Amino acid sequence: MSNQLSNSNQKRPILAKEGWPFIALAVVVALVTGAISFWLGLVFWLVAIFVIQFFRDPTRQAPQGEALVLSPADGRIVAVEEVDDPYAGRRALKISVFMNVFNVHSNQMPVSGRITKVEYFKGKFVNADLDKASIENERNAIVIERADGQIVTSVQVAGLVARRILCYAKVGQELGAAQRYGFIRFGSRVDVYLPLNAKPLVAIGDKVSHTLTVLAELE
């Protein structure tokens, strides 16, 4: 396993490292404005609290099972459908998780396997809740080959407000299910493409939690 990415079983800071500069700036601004005006300071303390909650990054224990596909993100299921997987060149079952600004935005590996492709695409920033966001928005895809040869694709998709996709996975890395591999700032979506014989265990509208929720089971 790569030592560059955190494992779900390892304790990590409560707040994501990606948010430290934003949290520090928000707190400093709140302190300065609070010294000038109580009410203005109160507004910026509320902003600072929002920033802090956005960048929370809890450690979670993943359920065990080689056939389980774990949710790579917190949020709500917005798609469970058969589509073309343009990143692996196949028909696939796509399960999409929409993250609003109140969800944890740390992204985890849905399955264990070797990273065979990492591909970034420039694009638009339409509402990530819309189906067209999967193919039109800025996004970053990783293709994962499991030990049994099955392919799983995980795609980080930017949203209306999200303007920064961070992916730490590299081609050739062997990563475990639930390992932290990326982060998306301020509202977004993750699409997971699975073999057609995968059995979905979630439905549209379901709320899911990264690492804890099982999206599907592979044969």
User: Taking the domains of the chain in order of start, what are their residue ranges?
Assistant: 19-55, 68-218
- Of 184, 194, 193, which is closest to residue 159 (Cα–Cα)? 184
Give phi and psi for 48, each to the nearest 5: -65, -40
CB 192 within 8 A of CB 210: no
CB 187 within 8 A of CB 159: yes
- Of 136, 137, 141, which is closest to residue 119 (Cα–Cα)? 141
Q: Please report the pLDDT score of residue 7 as a whole number.
A: 45
User: Which candidate in 2, 6, 188, 209 is catalytic?
Assistant: 188
For CA atoms 187, 209, 145, 18, give the dihedral sign.
Answer: positive
Q: Please report the pLDDT score of residue 127 as a whole number.
A: 65
Q: Please report the pLDDT score of residue 8 as a whole number.
A: 45
CB 126 within 8 A of CB 137: yes
Which residue positions in the chain have pLDDT lower than 70?
A: 1-13, 126-129, 160-163, 186-187
Alpha-carbon distance 141 to 47, whole Å? 32
Q: Is domain 68-218 annotated with CATH 3.40.50.2000? A: no
Q: Please report the pLDDT score of residue 11 as a whole number.
A: 57
Active-site residue, 112 included = no
